[in-house]
Amino acid sequence: MTSMSFDELLPLIFIGLMGVSLLVYVVSDGYDLGVGMLMHRATPEERDTMVASIGPFWDANETWLVLGVGLLLVAFPKAHGLVLSELYLPTALMLVGLILRGAAFDFRVKAKADRKAMWDRLFIAGSMLASVCQGWMLGRYISGFGEGWNYPIFAGAIAVALPMAYALLGATWLVMKTDGALQHKAVEWSKIAWPPMVLGLILISMATPWISETVRERWFTLPAMIAVASIPVTAGIALVTVRVLLGSPTVRGGLCWLPFALLVLVFFLSFLGLSYSIYPFVVIDRLTVWEAASSPDSLKVILIGVCVTLPVIVAYTAFSYRVFRGKTIELDYA
C-alpha cells in the first residue's frame, strides 16, 4: 500500500470525524429518545424523574446531529445533496419529531399545569416520530437507496428495530440513573425491548452483504474474515450478557451501569462493522469519500476550527456528565 499525501488523507479524517459525531449522536440522543418513548408507560411523577434524568444533557446531545450533518454538508457537499434528496420526506418528518420533542421539553415545565399532559403527549409522539424516521433513513441508506419490493420491507423493519434499540438504551439508562419502583419498571421495559433490537441487528448484518457485492467480498474472504468476525462475536457476547444481567438482581444494585455500558459497546461495534462494510464509499457503490469531498484547502480551514473546539467540547461533556453523575435527584414539590 502506497502512503497517502495529506490532501488525500483529509477526506478520511473528515469522514472519521463525521462518523464519530453521528455515533455519539445515536448513542446520546438514542437514550434521550428512548426515555421519551418509554414515558407513555410511566406515571406523571415518574415522567418528571425521567425528564430530569436527561434534562442537563439533551440539548448538547442533539447538537451532535447538527455537527455530524454539518460536517457532511461542508466536507462532502455532493453526498449531502444526494443523501438528503433521497431521504427528503423522512428527513422532514424526523425534523418535525425533533422540533416537537425539543419544544415540549421546555414547555412542559413552563406552561400552565393543566397543559402539562398535552406537552407530555407531544414529547412522546415527537420522540417516537424522530426514532422511526431515523430507522427508516438508516435502512434506506445502508441498502444504497435501492428500488424494488424488498427494499421498503427492509427499511420498514429497521424503522421498528431502531426505536426498539433506543428504547432499550433508554431503559438501561433509567436502570442506571434511577432507583425504586421506576428502576424496577425500567428493568422490565429493557426485557421487552431486547428481542426486537437483537433481531434488527442481525437483519442489518445480513442485509448489507446480500445487497452489495463489494460488502460481501470484504466480509467473507479469508483471512480477513477471521479478524473481522470478532466484531459480531463480541457484540453477541455483550448482548447476551445484557440479557443475563437484566434477569439477575445485581442489576438493581452495584452493576446498574453495566447494561447501559455494554449497549454503548454494541452500538460502537455496529458502527465499526458498518464503517468496514461501506468504506471507502459515502453512498454505497455510488460515491466514494474522495469523490464527494470539498477541496483540500477548504477542509484545512475547517480542520483548524475542529481542532480548537473539539477537545473543549469533549472536555466539557465529560465535566458535565461528572457533575450530574449518580442517581437523578427526586423531584421537590415544596
Partner 1 sequence: MDAVFLARMQFAANITFHILFPSISIALGWVLLFFRLKHLRATDPQQKLDWLRAYRLWTKVFALTFALGVVSGVTMSFQFGTNWPGYMERVGNIAGPLLSYEVLTAFFLEAGFLGVMLFGHRRVGEMVHLGATFLVAFGTLMSAFWILALNSWMQTPAGYEIVNGQFHARSWLEIIFNPSFPYRLLHMVLASALTCAFLLIGISAWQLLKGVATDSASRVLRTGLVFAALAAPAQMMAGDLHGLNTLQYQPQKIAAMEGIWETTRGASLLLFAIPDDAARTNHFEVAVPKLASLILRHDADGELKGLNEFPSAHPPVFAVFWCFRIMVGMGILMLLVSWVGLWRHWRDGREFARMPRPMLWLFAGMTFAGWVATIAGWYVTEIGRQPFIVAGLIRTSDVASRVPSSSIAVTFAIYVAVYLALLVAYVGVLKYMAETADKKSYANVSVSPAGEPQQYQRRGEFA
Instruction: Report the distance separating Cα 37 and Cα 174, nearest Å.
Output: 12
Instruction: Report the distance separating Cα 71 and Cα 131, nearest Å.
Output: 21
Nearer to partner 1, 190 or 294 (CB): 294
- Note whether 252 and 187 are within 8 A (CB): yes
b/e for 133-153, b at 16 or more Cβ within 10 A?
bbbbbbbbbbbbbeeeeebbe
| Distance in Å, CB of 331 to partner 1, minimum | 6
| Distance in Å, CB of 87 to partner 1, minimum | 8
| Distance in Å, CB of 321 to partner 1, minimum | 11
Nearer to partner 1, 111 or 206 (CB): 111
Instruction: Report the distance separating Cα 92 and Cα 273, nearest Å.
Output: 28
Nearer to partner 1, 56 or 280 (CB): 56
Nearer to partner 1, 105 or 173 (CB): 105
Instruction: Report the distance separating Cα 288 and Cα 280, nearest Å.
Output: 6
Could you give the 3-state DSSP secondary structure of residue 281? strand
- Note whether 64 and 25 are within 8 A (CB): yes
Grid cell in block for residue 118 = 398535552
Nearer to partner 1, 49 or 208 (CB): 49
Q: Scanning residues 8 to 67, which ones bind partner 1 (CB under 8 A)?
A: 48, 51-52, 55-56, 58-60, 62-63, 65-67
Nearer to partner 1, 126 or 259 (CB): 126
Q: Scanning residues 84 to 113, which ones bind partner 1 (CB under 8 A)?
A: 84-85, 88-89, 91-93, 95-96, 98-100, 102-103, 105-107, 109-112
| Distance in Å, CB of 191 to partner 1, minimum | 29
- Note whether 33 and 62 are within 8 A (CB): no
Which residue of 71, 165, 174, 186 would you call a contact of partner 1, by CB under 8 A? 71
Nearer to partner 1, 91 or 131 (CB): 91
Could you give the 3-state DSSP secondary structure of residue 16? helix
Q: Scanning residues 108 to 137, which ones bind partner 1 (CB under 8 A)?
A: 109-112
Q: Which positions ≥6 away from 180 have C-beta within 8 Å?
A: none
Q: Scanning residues 256 to 315, which ones bind partner 1 (CB under 8 A)?
A: 294-295, 297-298, 301-302, 305-306, 309, 312-313
CA dist 294 to 73, 81, 83, 137, 187, Å?
A: 10, 13, 16, 24, 47
Residues binding partner 1: number (CB under 8 A):
66
Q: Where does residue 82 fall: left (phi above 0), alpha (psi -120 to 50 degrees), or beta otherwise?
A: alpha
Per CB under 8 A, residues contacting partner 1 are 48, 51-52, 55-56, 58-60, 62-63, 65-67, 69-75, 77-78, 80-85, 88-89, 91-93, 95-96, 98-100, 102-103, 105-107, 109-112, 294-295, 297-298, 301-302, 305-306, 309, 312-313, 316-317, 320, 323, 329, 331-332, 334
